[in-house]
A and B are shown apart, each in its own frame.
Chain A
Amino acid sequence: MRSIIYQALFLAALVFVVWLLVTNTIENLRARGLKSGFDFLNSRSGIPISDTIIDWNPDDTFGRAYFVGILNTLRVGIIGIVLATILGTIIGIARLSSNWLVAKLASIYVETIRNVPLLLQLIFIYAFVGNVLPDQLNPIVIGAGFYLNKSGLIFPLLKLDTAHYIVGGVLLASLVAMLIYNRWAKRRQYATGVAPKRLLPSLGILIVPAVAAFLAMGAPAEFDVAAKTRFRFIGGGSIGPEFLTVLVGLVIYTASFIAEIVRSGILAVSYGQTEAAGALGLTRGQTLRLVLLPQALRVIIPPMTSQYLNLVKNSSLALIAGYPDVVAIENMTMNQTGRALEAILLIMAVYLTISLSISLAMNYYNKRIALKER
């Protein structure tokens, strides 16, 4: 009974506050002569966007600009997550190295990067790219068609033709075949107690058909390498200085957190587990694969997910480097149309969708790997 009264009171207060906010907002909007609604999404934007995945010109609508922004956020998020995981894992393992120098260098990296705000690092990297890197025509030559200069990173592109799509298709089919094989192997092991070999056949199923198809079609691998003309580089792929800044900043920063997660995950598995596996006669590889890794992953995965989410959320700082992610574009939209409420809701919707879908996926995964207590 009491709890019902409390909840009714709470609801009443909540309704009152919401009513107050809504009436105030309507009143304020009217007083300032501002319109509201999402109709602006269909009107011509007129904003220039420098770095897009899909085609863009200023005559397109605000709705398309929003979509361009979402794609850019996802692009920096996904590439950033992959690179940060690789770098972070290497540094996390390096911190546990028996080599004193390696361990010290890794811990200096982690302590320094973690304790300085990301925004400051991004501004610094951006200033560095703009001031220190050489200009367009005198790039730093990295080799193999890679160049680095003020206007970003230039790299060779694979010229795609039908053969590559066919190889891609074959690869996809063999991936399915590999999963089926592994399932069969697992069932067989449960049924008979004899474990069929898994690693080599799996790799074979995955790689051999694709390589065979690739060779059968004459191994077409033509690269579009950038060439220097009198004024600029032509051809090849390139990523702009803004994207480069944001990506490098996010990867360096997030890697320092991932390194700590990896380290603590490895340390969380007690040495007794290794000894017990040895006593059971497992080989080193089996110990790692069947005993250590599954237990370490259980510790690593949840905080790792929250780091991935942080990376995606932190990519909103791309604004200051001029990278047109969803926040930057909606910020421009806000300035053009004056629809602050709508623009902010659009921004929040993107991040909430990403956050919720990642955490749903993670909850599912966590349930699967959680300790089965009996």
Chain B
Amino acid sequence: MAVSDTATESAAIGPPPATTGFLGWMRKNLFSNVWNTLLTIVCAYLIIRIVPPLVSWLFLDATWGEAAPQQCRAAEGACWAFVTEKHRVILFGRYPFLEHWRPLLGICVLLTVVLTSCFRRCWRPWIALVWIGGLGAFFVLMFGGDVPIGLRAAAAAAAGAFLIATLRSSGSTRSLLFGATALFALLALAAGPIFRVIDGVLNAAFGTGPLLAGATGIWFEIPTGLGFVSTSLWGGLPLTLLLSILGIVVAFPLAILLALGRRSKMPLIRMFCVGYIEVIRGVPLISLLFVGSFLLPLFLPRGVEISDLLRAQVAIIGFSAAYLAEVIRGGLQAIPRGQFEAADALGLSYWQKMAKIVLPQAITIVIPPIVNTFIGLFKDTSLVSIVSLTDLLLATKDIALADVDWRAFYAEGYAFIALIYFVFCFFMSKYSQYLERQFETGRQKRR
């Protein structure tokens, strides 16, 4: 009784005025004691010194739209006219100017595929088909020319058929079909380089000459009606996206094998996997890019030439596979031992146990850290500019800013691509945090 009395009383009086509303909030969060007040004053001073000049540079005094460099120099603020003038070079590098719609469309296709994969509802095996289709479309758009579509289309169709069969089948046929799907999907995407390497090896060993590479040519080629553009002209955002996306997607199966190998009971395989992971993680990416661009040509059989883009891509895949493997290993360790024992008790084989029981759980847990790895890789692709690939950074630095008239506006150029990187990374990190919360509540509910 007494309690309710006090409650009504205090409700009637209400809290002291200085603790509510905006003033109350300020008192509580900014001026709660001497130390806090001091900090607030220092911060406020910093903000007043930095923000107004920045805002007037960025917006108020800036030159927008189209303008000559002279106009920009006359103005006090930023020269966004530089970005207006050069944005296409920054975004697409040396890609032929009139064909810029192709990389633009390519980016849209890639981003659509990635966005689709962000929805949990789409985490089904058929997403693999979306990826094959999306990447295929991207490459057709970027390359143009005559697409040796016969073999690729056949391989893609086979991959599709196997995937559907996989979805409907069960037991050990399923893993067999799944492997076949992966194989054909790989063939559909990377038939050219794979065949060239195999040819080179065979040629070095038996002197057979081009065997398989001819096969891609024998199959009918479909003219796309688009001019052929070689990878040496690719650049800007599509290059950055391609390097990072393939860097994760292709590295993923390798990473699973490495992670399983590291936990394997076979000492030889374990040693190899540990060695690979630790060496790659111990050296900087730039040294691996050097390996890709200087040593890979030496490692390949004579006569096999691979493009600069592919060299960097191989280095990036090898790099991210080691990091992903550690992430996946974290997931494997989080699976309770009971799951392994239960699978053994059911008489499942090693691969059945892994593919059906362990990996699905382990990978789901580690999707947020995988997204974080992807963010890191996305930023790290900027290093390819050191080995002269025209990614976003080098397109800005060496093409857009190479123009004498506009050289002074480096800050605007770098700010523009910094914004692009920021937007991508920021939203990906928000997505990963969102997933973490989702999984967290999921686990709590189960308890």
Contact = CB atoms under 8 A, between A and B. Distances in A.
Interface of A: 3, 6-7, 10-11, 14, 20-21, 23-25, 27-29, 31, 97-102, 105, 111-112, 114-120, 123-124, 127-128, 131, 309, 313-314, 316-317, 319-320, 327, 331, 334, 340-341, 344, 347-348, 351-352, 355-356
Contact of A341 (B32, B39, B295): B295
Contact of A317 (B47, B272, B286, B429): B286
Given A117-B379, A119-B393, A355-B281, A319 B36 contact: no
A102 B30 CA distance: 9
B425 A317 contact: no
Interface stretch (B107-115, B353-361, B410-418): B410-418
B422 A116 contact: yes
Given A24-B302, A102-B43, A344-B290, A7 B268 contact: yes
A356 B425 CA distance: 30
B20 interface: no
Interface string B16-52: 0000000000000110100010011001101100000
Given A10-B268, A100-B30, A348-B287, A28 B302 contact: yes
Contacts of B393: 117, 119-120, 123
Contacts of A29: 298
A28 B39 contact: no
Contact of B283 (A99, A119, A351): A351
Contact of A344 (B32, B47, B272, B291): B291
A120 B421 contact: yes
A10 B302 contact: no
Nearest to A349: B283
Contacts of A356: 278, 282
Contacts of A97: 39
A352 B266 contact: no
Contact of A131 (B410, B418, B422): B410
B268 A98 contact: no
Contacts of A118: 379
Given A21-B299, A327-B286, A347-B283, A115 B291 contact: no
Contacts of B295: 340-341, 344
A348 B43 contact: no
B269 interface: yes
A27 B298 CA distance: 8
12 contacts: A99-B29, A118-B379, A120-B417, A120-B421, A123-B393, A123-B414, A127-B410, A127-B414, A313-B283, A320-B386, A340-B298, A355-B281
B39 A115 contact: no
Contact of B301 (A24, A127, A131, A309): A24
Contacts of B44: 101
Contact of B279 (A14, A124, A352): A352
Contacts of A331: 290
A316 B414 contact: no
A128 B408 CA distance: 11
B385 A119 contact: yes
B204 interface: yes
A5 B417 CA distance: 53
Nearest to A31: B302
Nearest to A131: B410
Given A10-B268, A327-B284, A352-B279, 7 more contacts: A7-B268, A28-B297, A116-B422, A117-B379, A120-B382, A127-B411, A341-B298
Contacts of A334: 290, 294
A50 B371 CA distance: 41
Interface in B289-341: 290-291, 294-295, 297-302
Contacts of B382: 117, 119-120
A61 B298 CA distance: 27
A247 B284 CA distance: 17
A14 B291 CA distance: 19
Contacts of B85: none
Nearest to A115: B425
User: When A and B form their complex, which 5 residue pairs have the shortest distance between CB atoms, in order from nearest?
Assistant: A355-B282, A115-B425, A100-B29, A340-B294, A117-B379
B436 interface: no
B300 A10 contact: no
B447 interface: no
B380 interface: yes
B299 A344 contact: no
Contacts of B201: 20
Contacts of B426: 111, 115
A128 B383 CA distance: 20
A131 to B, nearest CB: 7
Residue picked from B39, B46, B375, most chain A C-beta under 10 Å: B39
A316 to B, nearest CB: 4
B397 interface: yes
Nearest to A355: B282
Interface string B266-279: 11110010000011
A105 B46 CA distance: 10
Contacts of A25: 298-299
A340 B290 contact: yes
B168 interface: no
Contact of B40 (A21, A99, A114, A309): A99
Contact of A24 (B32, B269, B284, B298): B298
Interface string B416-439: 011001100110010000000000
B121 interface: no
Given A11-B268, A118-B379, A120-B382, A101 B39 contact: yes
Contacts of B386: 119, 317, 319-320
Interface in B41-81: 43-44, 46-47
B443 interface: no
B160 to A, nearest CB: 30
B265 interface: yes
